[in-house]
């Protein structure tokens, strides 16, 4: 295999993750495609052509621009073929209903506008809230079925069925990207915020890749949420609270992993690596989020993230625990319950926290066993090793398996040296 062949095979998967959803959104918006699948097929064909062309001719100077140009030309050709139009897409595309803008540029602003417009279009009331979010994660965020299943803590088969029904409903509902009025925008905003929240979470702690952090997903979620704060219809307290949460969490990304890509526990993080600018932005948006009487899960999670980034305070973990107590009442999830137990350990000690954790009965969760392993380290080494071993068996992440194995080695050596 030549060096050029190797490089293009490494570059294309990266570009696919970065650009596929953006290209799909722009094509749907500017060419008036009513079936998302048509745009997806064109973009997929573009990447197929790239794999063939670049293997022979080498990677172009600007590969991203090359992809956008080919996708644009393929879409134009799609409309030019009369036979194809008459036999395959006459009922799919009705140009008279749209102002098809065939001459446009793939500028950063154009792409961002198209993505936001697409998210709101996909979050149609014709589907359930969960289906809206699943579809948006797949189409706009390029999430795999497995990634969506992990986000919803459910089985891939359930997600596949949900996506199939959602796509069918969109087609039957005459899907199109259009300018929404204030009422329609506010009706769909909660689903959009949940989509961006899950997008950020997958980047902040990836469950399906051999890397614990996917910064590109975090950055994309922040960028799109920031755009929502710049629109009068979507600049709500919830939106600002979500953006504050993302800023606080993003400020610690560099400190959350070591040079080997392994997780670094909060207590062991190098605070000099925390991004103070992002912390200040988080403070700014959290203040904006308090403009009113609304308290959402994003407000509470942003408050928790705020206390994590503040200097050591005697009552810091007490504040965090109180916020977790409120969060569980608003929206319970196993992850929230486990995070609350960690905070509980900081306030009431590991022995008491072990009893709290065991009440949850989350034996099938690697996070559950990872937490119990951590809590037992200074109490019962054998039980700590047992739970860390259970966590290794339940996680899919190679990096996390390595990190947990090293922790078992560390505490075993510590125990043997006593």
Give the CATH number of the domain where residue 418 resides. Answer: 1.25.40.10
Sequence-separated (6 or more) residues with CB below 8 Å from residue 381: 411, 412, 414, 415
Domain boundary among 106, 136, 167: 106
361: left (phi over 0), alpha (psi -120 to 50) or beta: left
pLDDT at 29: 76
Residues 97 and 135 in one domain: no
The secondary structure of residue 266, as a DSSP letter, is: G
Per-residue pLDDT of the chain (418 residues; tens, 9 = 90+): 444 555 777 788 888 877 888 888 888 876 655 667 888 888 999 999 999 999 898 999 999 989 988 988 888 887 776 445 555 555 554 544 444 445 556 667 777 777 778 888 888 887 888 888 888 888 877 788 888 888 787 889 999 999 998 888 877 766 666 667 788 888 889 989 998 998 898 888 776 556 667 888 888 889 889 989 988 889 999 999 999 999 999 999 999 888 877 778 788 889 999 999 999 999 999 999 998 888 999 999 999 999 999 876 678 999 999 999 999 999 999 999 999 999 999 999 999 999 999 999 999 999 999 999 999 999 999 999 999 999 999 988 888 888 899 999 999 987 776 6
Residues 72 and 142 in one domain: no
Residues 276 and 352 in one domain: no
Residues 61 and 78 in one domain: yes
Residues 65 and 42 in one domain: yes
Residues 243 and 297 in one domain: yes
Residues 118 and 225 in one domain: yes
Residue located via tokens 């973009």: 43
Residues 70 and 95 in one domain: yes
> Do 284 and 300 meet the contact criterion of CB atoms below 8 Å apart?
no
Structure tokens at 259: 């040079």
Sequence-separated (6 or more) residues with CB below 8 Å from residue 368: 334, 338, 357, 360, 362
Domain boundary among 106, 135, 151: 106
Residues 39 and 81 in one domain: yes
Q: How many domains does the chain have?
A: 4
Residues 285 and 246 in one domain: yes
Q: How far apart are CA 193 and CA 119, in angstroms?
A: 10
pLDDT at 182: 82
Residues 126 and 197 in one domain: yes
Q: How far apart are CA 15 and CA 354, in angstroms?
A: 45
Beta bridge mates, 257: 263
pLDDT at 376: 97
| Domain hosting residue 206, numbered range | 113-235
> Do 278 and 248 meet the contact criterion of CB atoms below 8 Å apart?
yes
Residues 379 and 417 in one domain: yes
pLDDT at 123: 83
């Amino acid at each position: 295999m030549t060096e050029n062949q190797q490089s293009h095979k490494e570059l294309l998967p990266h570009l696919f993750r970065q650009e596929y959803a953006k290209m799909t959104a722009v094509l749907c918006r500017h060419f008036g495609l009513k079936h998302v699948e048509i745009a997806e097929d064109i973009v997929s064909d573009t990447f197929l052509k790239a794999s063939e062309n670049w293997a022979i001719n080498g990677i172009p100077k600007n590969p991203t621009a090359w992809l956008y140009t080919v996708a644009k030309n393929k879409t134009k050709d799609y409309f030019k073929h009369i036979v194809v139009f008459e036999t395959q897409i006459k009922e799919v595309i009705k140009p008279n209903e749209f102002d098809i803008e065939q001459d446009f540029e793939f500028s950063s602003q154009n792409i961002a506008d198209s993505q936001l417009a697409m998210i709101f279009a996909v979050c149609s009331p014709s589907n359930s809230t969960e289906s809206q979010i699943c579809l948006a994660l797949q189409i706009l965020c390029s999430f795999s079925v497995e990634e969506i299943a992990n986000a919803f803590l459910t089985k891939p088969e359930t997600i596949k069925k949900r996506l199939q029904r959602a796509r069918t409903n969109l087609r039957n509902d005459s899907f199109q990207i259009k300018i929404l009025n204030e009422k329609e925008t506010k009706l769909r905003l909660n689903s959009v915020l949940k989509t961006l929240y899950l997008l950020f979470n997958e980047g902040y702690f990836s469950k399906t890749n051999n890397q614990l952090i996917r910064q590109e997903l975090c950055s994309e979620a922040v960028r799109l949420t920031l755009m929502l704060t710049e629109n009068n219809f979507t600049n709500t307290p919830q939106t600002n609270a979500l953006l504050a949460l993302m800023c606080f969490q993003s400020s610690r990304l560099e400190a959350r992993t070591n040079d080997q890509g392994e997780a670094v526990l909060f207590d062991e993080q190098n605070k000099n690596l925390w991004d103070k600018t992002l912390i200040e932005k988080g403070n700014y948006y959290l203040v904006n989020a308090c403009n009113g009487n609304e308290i959402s899960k994003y407000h509470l999670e942003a408050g928790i993230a705020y206390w994590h980034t503040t200097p050591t305070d005697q009552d810091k973990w007490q504040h965090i625990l109180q916020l977790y107590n409120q969060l569980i009442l608003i929206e319970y999830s196993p992850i929230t319950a486990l995070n609350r137990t960690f905070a509980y350990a900081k306030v009431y000690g590991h022995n008491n926290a072990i009893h709290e954790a065991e009440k949850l009965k989350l034996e099938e969760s690697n996070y559950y066993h990872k937490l119990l392993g951590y809590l037992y380290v200074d109490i019962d080494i054998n039980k700590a090793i047992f739970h860390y071993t259970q966590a290794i068996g339940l996680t899919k992440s190679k990096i996390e398996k390595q990190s947990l194995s090293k922790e078992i080695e560390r505490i075993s050596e510590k125990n043997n040296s006593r």
